[in-house]
Each structure stands twice: as C-alpha cells, then as structure tokens.
Chain A
Amino acid sequence: MSQRKRIRGNPSTAPEASQQPDAHDSEDDLLSQAQTATQVQRNLEKLTPEQIEQKVSEVVQFILIKDQKKLPIKRADIVKNVLKEYKSIYAEILNRVSQILKQVFGLKLVEIDVKNHVYIVVNRLEHQGGDCMKVEGSTAKMGLLMVILSLIFMKGNSAKESMIWEVLKKLHIDISERHQDLGDVKKLITEEFVRQKFRIRIPNLGQHSIKKHRQKRLQKHQEQQAGQNKCFKTQVDFQYMV
C-alpha cells in the first residue's frame, strides 16, 4: 500500500455550522465537545484499565476487519458498533488504537474526511519483492484499479467513461462480458471502486475524477517507486497512446 497524506482533524474543535443539522451532526457535536482533556481524564477515571483495554482491542479488531474488506472506517460506525456507552472517551481510545496499529502492525490510521470523520488504514512498510502476500481475487482488482487510476492521472485527474472502456478493451477486458477473475467489470468500477472511495463519479457527464487524496497517494506512490512506475506509465503511454 502506498503512503497517503495525513489529514489531521482536531476532535476538540467545534464542527462547522451547517444549515440543516441532523441527528448524526448533533452526535458528532457531543463527541467533539466531550473531548477536552479534563473531561476525557474525568471519564477515564470512571473506568477500570481493563475496561479501557478491552474497548481499545475491540476497536483495533474492528478497524482491521473493515480494512480487510477495503472499506473506509467511519467514526459513527466505531461508536455505534464498538464504543457504545464508552463514546465519551473516544479521543483517548482512538489515540491508543493509532499507537497500537503503528507499533504492532506497522499500519497508520489516516483521516481522509475530516468533516464526516472517515478513516483508512495505510501501510507504513514498503512492499518488498520477497513478501509473498496472498494472491487472490482482490489482487486482480487492484491491478485493474492501478491501470484506471494511472489513466485518470495522465488525463489530468479526469477521464471520460468511454475512454476508459476503450482502453480496457485493448487490455482484453470487455465491460459487456463477465470477466473470469474480475466478474462484472462495469459494476466493479462504477460501484465498488466508488464505494471504496477510490474514485468519484460525476453523474450525467460520464466522467471519472480522482479524489485529491488519491491523487496525492498515486503521486507519492510513484515517487517512492519511481523506477517501477515510470516504466509502467511509459508502457501504458506507448501502448495505448492516450
């Protein structure tokens, strides 16, 4: 996995005012307002260390499970499914979880959406040749994603759908047919990748734009693995003349 730019959110800052606050926003307000240092300390003192450790380990497992499914992790889900009555110490628990992910698993928790408090997990360790990670269906999907993201990036962060389908056809991936490894390719690209926040789709224009942080990720990835990616990009340029 490549490094992503960390977008820091300060949980103790009051959220931006919105014209139509809803239940979700008011719960966020409560979470934010409760996170001042003194209040967190006071709430922590009401719990035993074992209770806090239990919750920390549950949040770690929750995040690892979500990451395994390549889904972004929402703060609201963490609170609803794991923390529940412990939400008043959310900030402290998340701090400890970040530390554990870093120290034990070599992973980094990155907030990609400060307003809605959505996180992803990024690998701090660079991939090495002899790693022998499991090769499975998702490997093929990542390969496809890499091709599409490169294409969008080369077209200045925006590429027409028709162009993407044309390029894929040259790679012998026909979106009208079910692919042996990728399944329904059109659904994969327009739904699954979008849901996983890899790309956003502008309706009615048939365009696919790359989200800013994903662009940075791709840039950083290419910087870090300059040799490999230059070669990849050159081959794509040469072969498909996009």
Chain B
Amino acid sequence: MSVQPAQMTDSHRRFLQILMSRGILESSEAQKLHKHCCETHKVSYAADKLEDFIKIINNQLQPLFMQIRRGVSEEDGKQHYALVNLAETEITRMASDYAENELELFRKTMDLIVTSENGFASSTDILNLADQLQTKKMKKKEVEQVLHHLVQDSWLSEKRGEYTLSTRCIIEMEQYIRTMYEDTVKVCNICHNITIQVQHFLIRTLIQLVKFHVLAQGFIRKQFSPYSHSC
C-alpha cells in the first residue's frame, strides 16, 4: 500500500497552481491532475487518496483564509473542486475583474435567480436591470457583454437564453448566498445543500432514491429468496 506524503511537496503545489489557473475542476479532471502531479514529482500515488492529498493543501491554505472546496453541479450531479476565498476584505474586493456597476448587475442577477421558482432568470429580465443600477447605468449592449464575460469566467451558466448560477459560483459563494438569502434560498432537508435549480435537483434526487429502492429491493430479494446463491 503506497504511503501518501504527509507534508506539502511540489506535487501539491503544482496541483494548487493549476486549480488556481482553472478556477474549478470536475472530479475526474481532479483525479487525472492528482495522478499527473504525483508522477511528475515522483511521489507516491494512490487513486483513492485525492481527498487526503487535498487535505494536506488545505492545512496550508487555512491560515490564508483559502480552501479547496468540493461541491456538486446542479446540471449533472457531478462533483467539482474549486479554490475559494473565505475572507471578505478590501483586498479580496480588489480581486474583481469587474467594475462596480458590473458587480451590482451580477448581484441583482443573483437576486433574480435565487428568488425565482426554477432557479433561472431570463435574459430579458436581466437586460431590464440595466436601468435600475445605482452605481452607473448600463446600455443593453453592455449588459449583454457583461453577461457573456460572466459566463466565460464560469460565474453564470446560460441555457436557451436563461441564466443560472454556475457550479463555481455556488461553491465559492455558498456562505454569502446562505447569509443574504436566508429566508429565500431553498435548502435540501436530506443533504442540507442549497439548491438553485430546484427541479433538476428534485429529479436527480428522485433518480437516486429510485436506484436506492431498486438496489434495496434486489438486496432483500436475494437475502430472503428460497433460491439464494448459497444453495
């Protein structure tokens, strides 16, 4: 059984650098990256030790108020990893690549999305926000460009002219969403995660429950069948 390094090595640093560059990684990509980093720096690798690998990095990131966090995509139910900033300071506010009025537009878009029934906001509704901005008004064309950038930077997802929060956004801003929308945001009573695209989430959960039910039925049948495999 291979022993994972307990201390931070260049394999961890490379993983962290690439995650910082990509912003978010799907679980399978994170697995491949884990393997690549361990092989590059000739450290012990085990496919099932990704969580331990990440834990070593997180131990170092914790005093810096940063963390590699895992979340589930509402689109496909797949796990993703993102590097999140846990501190809200003047410094982190400087990190924004967006102007003040663009950030205001994003916040108002988030309002629309979180308070909607299906977790989506139409492009028309978002375009109408342009006139309501307090910081600096925007033309419709500018709103379209900002939305395009937000999608490119993986803060929003777009589907058939409707916008929702991306996986990266939900992972990174979970605490903010829970605090700002405490009374509005929907939280699952089983997994306690916030859910934006409620319908998707319900369908996925139902599918999981059906699978579980079928498995359970199969298990019960096998256990108590007069034709069990042991006969």
A residues near B (Cβ < 8 Å) are: 53, 57-58, 60-62, 64-65, 68-69, 81-82, 100, 103-106, 123-125, 128, 130-134
Contact = CB atoms under 8 A, between A and B. Distances in A.
B14 A125 contact: yes
Contacts of A61: 64-66, 85, 87, 89, 91-92, 95
A123 B17 contact: yes
A68 B10 CA distance: 20
Contact of A81 (B16, B36, B94): B94
| 8 shortest interchain CB distances as A-B pairs | A106-B13, A133-B21, A57-B64, A130-B36, A104-B60, A65-B95, A134-B21, A134-B22
A61 B64 CA distance: 8
B8 interface: yes
Which secondary structure characterizes the binding site on chain B? helix
Interface string B1-17: 00000001010011011
Nearest to B97: A69
A128 B22 contact: no
A58 B17 contact: no
A134 B24 CA distance: 10
Nearest to B35: A130
A58 B89 contact: yes
Nearest to A128: B40
Contact of B33 (A82, A105, A123, A132): A132
- Best-buried of B29, B64, B90 by chain A (most CB within 10 Å): B64
B64 A104 contact: yes
B23 interface: yes
B209 interface: no
B161 interface: no
Interface string B50-86: 0000000100110111100000000000000000010
A21 B87 CA distance: 39
Contacts of B89: 58, 61
B22 A132 contact: yes
A103 B40 contact: no
B44 to A, nearest CB: 18
